[in-house]
Structure 1
Amino acid sequence: MRMIIDTDPAMGTLGGDPEDSFAIMLALNSPGVTVEGITIVQGNMPAEKGYYNAHHLLRLLGREEVPLKRGRLLPLNEDRAIQVQWLQQRKGAEQITAEVEPEGEDADAVSFLVDTVRANPGEITLVTIGPLTNIAAAIQTDPEFAPAVKNIVMMGGNAECAGNISPAAEFNYWQDPEAADIVFRCGADITMVGLDVCHKTHLYPQQVEECAAGGGELGQFVKEATAPWFKVMAAGSGSESLHLYDSLAVAVATDPSLVTLEDSHVEIEVGDGPAQGMSVSYHKPFQR
């Protein structure tokens, strides 16, 4: 299986959700999976910080040969004040990873996506675990991009449960509603791994401690980077665990039998009201 991961990794930025990096580690260690590249998008953290974090993780894993590209720094609609403010507020978050800047083509994730998919029609699975800005930009750049994608497995949305950034919306779609709308309209084969199923997954601090105990530099990095997020979860929702949202999307991409899939038509609310970013799923009994 050939995969590109589009992600907004925050492991390495203290206080950010570290879970994207677990998904990256899962993909890189999954038999039969070739990660053709990792593209960074704005989301949990500014894309600049996401690039620092992914670069550091690949170094610790000894996988620096995997292409790493930084993508869009802002949502498609740069006038979305709340979403842009979200990014601005996180620019000052403390980094425990080196600030490495991309050079040349490494700062153009959209071109990498288009070129790689177009050169390998029907072979590349896109696993999107952040906002869909880069993917939507690739669709806008080249009309033949979406038809050439094998399939898209995305962590995002909510079908029957409440959102996690607002009562209506899941964060990835909320952070760039226009992008999510473009992707859902592109005609590609999409599997939406939403909050409904992601909330059934848990990772506990003691499990991280066990992994860190024998994990050397990587284990200590994971322990240090995840500790603040466990505190955020405990203070915000009273949870002792974090959810493995993005890791589940990678797992489903490699083995769809892990979940029960249901056909559905999905529309995205792109307005500016309280439901912005909401995914409206027309599954049973509302199928269209």
Structure 2
Amino acid sequence: MSKKTKVIIDCDAGVDDAQAIMMALAYPHIEVLGITCVAGNVSVHQVTLNVLRILKACGKLGKIPVYKGAESSLVSRKINLATHFHGDDGLGDNPDDNAPDASHLSSKSAVLALIEEVNAHPGEVSVVAIGPLTNLALAARLDPTFTHNVKEVSLMGGNIAGRGNVTATAEFNFYVDAEAAHVVLNDFHCPVYITSWETTCNFPLKQEWFLKWLEKSTEKGRFMKRINKTAMEYYTSERGQKECGTQDYVTCDPIAMALVINKKFIQETKKHHVTVELGGEITRGLMVVDWSDRFDKSKEVNTFLLTKFDQDMLTDMMELSLA
């Protein structure tokens, strides 16, 4: 029997988070040790409820622990929610009268869960971080060995060409907690794979394929169609087409998940030092890439910018997730 890949999913459970989680749950070689929640697309309380709904739709409620994490960024109490895309509830404004409540949550905090699971399996746990990076930064500050013991981090966030989706220059996850992103990019010793906003925009899902995918006549398929209501309205809007630069469907978080499910998914990465701008009035949250290798040469480069991937493999994984 092949060895399973141990994964912790750290998320802010909007629509594309749901896609990524459902992909992971579809593969028997992926062992999801837990799902840690952070404020981002919606409040952290709503994120926890959304994760429980996703697990219920997949028949996994009660089988995977869900942990509540940071309710605000490291420095600011204010969170810029992404309800214009994900809906006020984060899942397309489609409430479920039979949705599981908070009694299904673990009593342990997300940050402690991250530290304990990673340290219990040093060098074996991949962390897929598809929201603001607050929980990971707090774990690193509470236990510095955490950054050595993680096998790898695959994150969705940042930008490689200064193209923003929440400000002119900043991607949402990095902008929400720029200080946390700074900790992960500068202090983690494990490999960090970065799926940037521009990479997701460069490889959109064809609208014809995506609409057909949403018509899957399975329970998971019907759930996915319901929660994509506000997202589809966004993509057909003038704002959506300006931000994404396409009329096709830009999905983000499933890409970060796919490269952990199967490394053959990766077709090209760029290995460079990266950091994030913290002080600029206009550029705060901008990911800064050292394209010409001018940064501190004494520090090992462990960040890999995903620039090209196998789109057919991604759609195959998404198909399986709703089977």
Q: Same fold (TM over 0.5)?
A: yes
How far is 1:174 from its partner?
Answer: 0.3
Q: Identify the residue that residue 197 of structure 1 maps to in structure 2.
A: 199
> Cα offset for 1:199?
1.2
1:57 corresponds to = 54
Deviations 1:186-230 (A, max 9, x none): 232211111232113334565455344443332222112102211
User: How is 1:25-64 mapped onto 2 (pairs within 5 angstroms)?
Assistant: 25-64=22-61
What percent of counterpart residues are identical? 27
Tell me what 1:78 maps to: 76
1:9 aligns with 2:13: yes
- Mapping 1:209-248, distance limit 5 Å: 209-235=211-237, 236-238=239-241, 239-248=246-255
Q: TM-score, normalised by structure 2?
A: 0.78
**What CA deviation, in whole Å up to 9, does each residue of 1:165-195 have, x standing for no partner?**
1121111100000100111122322111112
Do 2:40 and 2:80's aligned partners in 1 also have CA atoms closer than 8 Å?
no
How much has 1:285 moved relative to structure 2? 6.4
- Deviation track 1:39-91 (CA, whole Å, cap 9, x = no partner) reads 11111111111111110110110112011111111111135xxx435489999
Distance 1:63 1:215 in 2: 19
Distance 1:118 1:255, change over 3 A: same
Tell me the CA shift for residue 287 of structure 1.
6.5
CA contact 1:68–1:106 (8 Å) conserved in 2: no
Point out the more displaced range, 212-221 or 227-236.
212-221
Instruction: State the distance in 2 between where 1:87 and 1:213 align.
Output: 25
Offset of residue 273 of structure 1? 1.2
Unaligned runs of 5+ in 2: 297-323
Cα distance in 1, alignment partners of residues 232 and 82 from structure 2: 21
- The aligned counterpart of 1:96 is 95
Whole-angstrom distance in 2 between the partners of 1:24 and 1:165: 24
Does the CA contact (< 8 Å) of 2:129 and 2:153 recur in 1?
Answer: yes
Seen in structure 2, the aligned counterparts of structure 1 residues 84 and 272 have a Cα distance that, compared at 3 Å, is: farther
Q: Tell me the alpha carbon deviations over residues 250-285 of structure 1, each in whole angstroms, 9 at most, x when there is no partner.
A: 112233342311111111111261111111001246
- 8 Å CA contact 1:158, 1:194 repeated in 2: yes
- What residue number does 2:300 align with? none
Task: Describe the superposition over 1:148-167 as per-residue Cα deviations: whole angstroms up to 9, x where unpaired.
Answer: 11111111111125111112
1:13 aligns to what?
Answer: none
Structure 1 residue 263 corresponds to structure 2 residue 260: no
After TM superposition, give the deviation of residue 105 of structure 1 in Å: 3.8
Q: 1:14 matched to which residue of 2? A: none
Moved more, 131-140 or 190-199: 190-199
What is the rounded CA distance, in whole Å, between the counterparts of 1:91 and 1:48 in structure 2? Answer: 15
- RMSD (Å) for aligned C-alpha atoms: 2.5
SS in 1 for 2:7: strand
In the other structure, the counterpart of 2:124 is: 123
Q: Per the alignment, in what secondary structure is the counterpart of residue 146 of structure 1?
A: helix
1:157 and 1:172 in contact (8 A); partners too: yes
1:113 paired to 2:127: no
Q: CA deviation at 1:237?
A: 3.0
Secondary structure at the residue paired with 2:187?
A: coil
Q: Higher mean Cα deviation, 92-101 or 38-47?
A: 92-101
Tell me, what secondary structure is at the counterpart of 2:269? coil
Structure 1 residues without counterparts, runs of 5 or longer: 11-17
Q: Is the 8 A contact 1:230 1:241 kept in 2?
A: no
Provide the rounded CA distance (Å) in 1 between the counterparts of 2:247 and 2:82. 26
